[in-house]
Amino acid sequence: MSDIKKVVLAYSGGLDTSVILKWLQETYQCEVVTFTADLGQGDELEPAREKAKVAGVKEIFIEDLKEEFVRDFVFPMFRANTIYEGEYLLGTSIARPLIAKQLIELARKTNADAISHGATGKGNDQVRFELGAYALNPDIKIIAPWREWDLLSREKLLQYAKKNNIPVEMKHKKGGSPYSMDANLLHISYEGRHLENPGAEPEEDMWRWTVSPEKAPNESETIEIKFEKGDPISLNGKAMKAHELLAKLNHLGGKHSIGRLDLVENRYVGMKSRGCYETPGGTILLKAHRAIESITLDREVAHLKDDLMPRFASLIYNGYWWSPERLALQTLIDHTQINVNGWVKLKLFKGNVTVIGRDSESDSLFDTSIATFEDDKGAYDQKDAVGFIKLNALRMRIAAKIKK
C-alpha cells in the first residue's frame, strides 16, 4: 500500500464517498484529491466542496461538465433511440464514461498514483468506471473500497460516519439509511430501502422531479422541438445549448408527470436489481426523435438502427462506451442522422407524451402525391402490387403445395 501516495477520488459528498474519503486517508495513509462532476445534480456541489475542505483535502476539483455531458454523451446516445431492456433510458450508465475520462485526466494533471470510486462490488458502476479508465490509461491503478473493506451495508456506513464525525444528509423524512441515489441532467435514480422488495410500491415522497399524475395540470401543453442532424437544437422556436434544452424539457416533463419508471433490470454482473428512475426530458426527447426519424429516414436504414439499438444499449449499460465496437456503431448511427432535420410538435398531459405533428422542409421522405387515398393521377400504379405480392408469396405457396 505504501506505493500509493496520491489518489483521485470520484466524490459526491454523499454517504458512500464521504466515508471512502476518510477510509482512504486512514487505510492508505495517502493524499486524496477529490473530483466532483457537475452534471446538473444541483445543490450537492458546494456542500461537497465544504465537506472535502473539512476532511483536509487540499486539491478539490468541481468541474462544470453539463454541456459536454449532454452534447457529447447524451445526444449521441439518443441518436440511436437507445433504451435498455425496453424501458431504461440509461441515465446513470451514460454519465460514467465522462467521469472516468475526467478521473484519468486529473490523475495525470495532479501526478496521482491511482483513482478511486464509490461503486459497490455488486453493481454495474464498478465495471463502467474501470473499463473506461483502463481504455483511456491501461496502466492506471484503481482502488475500489467496496471490494476491500468490511463496511458492507448502509447501516455500517452510517455507524462509521457517526464515529468519524462525517456529516450525512438523511434523504428520507422517516430516518434510517437514505436511498442510494444518482442524479444528473438526464435522470435521478433511486435504489435501496424498501425498493429492494420488487413488490413494494415506491413512496410518493421519494420522487423529486415529477409530480404524480393526480397532481399534474388538468390541461395539456403543446411544445415544438427542432432537430438538426438528429440532435435537438431549439425548443418552441428558441435556440438553446444542449444542457439548457434538456433542463427545460426536464422542467416541462416533471410538471406533467412524465418520465417515472419502476424497473427490475438485469445487471451486467448477473443479478436482477430493482430501481426507480425519473427521466422527464429524456422521455420527451425519445418520442420526438423517433417522430422526426419517421419522415426523414429510409425504411431499411430505420429498421437497421432498430436492429442494432439493443446491442448499442447493452454496450453503454455494461460500460463499453470507449470500446472500438461502440465507436464503430456510433459512426454508423451518426451517418444515418445527416438528414434527420425538421420539427416535431408534442402534447404533454398527465404522464403522456403524444406526437401531434412533424415535418422537414428539406429532408422529408413523405410523398403525399403517392401516399394519398385520393386520386394520385398515376403517381403509383396499383397493378404493380400483383407481381410484388406473388413473388413474395412464392416460397409460401410452394411449401403449402407440399403440405397438401
Q: To which residue does cell 476518510 refer?
A: 22
CA dihedral 247, 249, 255, 257 (to 10 degrees): -110
Q: To which residue does cell 426523435 refer?
A: 289
The rounded distance, in Å, linking the Cα atoms of 273 and 268 is: 10
Residue 305 phi, psi (nearest 5): -60, -45
Query: Taking the CA of residue 373 as centre, how many other CA atoms within 13 Å lie in the half-sphere pointing to its CB?
Result: 0
Is there a catalytic annotation at residue 16?
A: yes
Is there a catalytic annotation at residue 96?
A: yes
Is there a catalytic annotation at residue 43?
A: no
Radius of gyration of the chain (CA): 25
- Report which residue type is found at 128: R
SS3 at position 267: coil
The rounded distance, in Å, linking the Cα atoms of 73 and 99 is: 11
12, 177, 180, 257: the catalytic one is: 180
16, 113, 182, 231: the catalytic one is: 16
96, 128, 193, 358: the catalytic one is: 96
Nearest to 35 by CA among 14, 13, 9: 9
CB 34 within 8 A of CB 57: yes
Is there a catalytic annotation at residue 189?
A: no
18, 93, 116, 125: the catalytic one is: 125
Catalytic residues: 16, 96, 125, 180
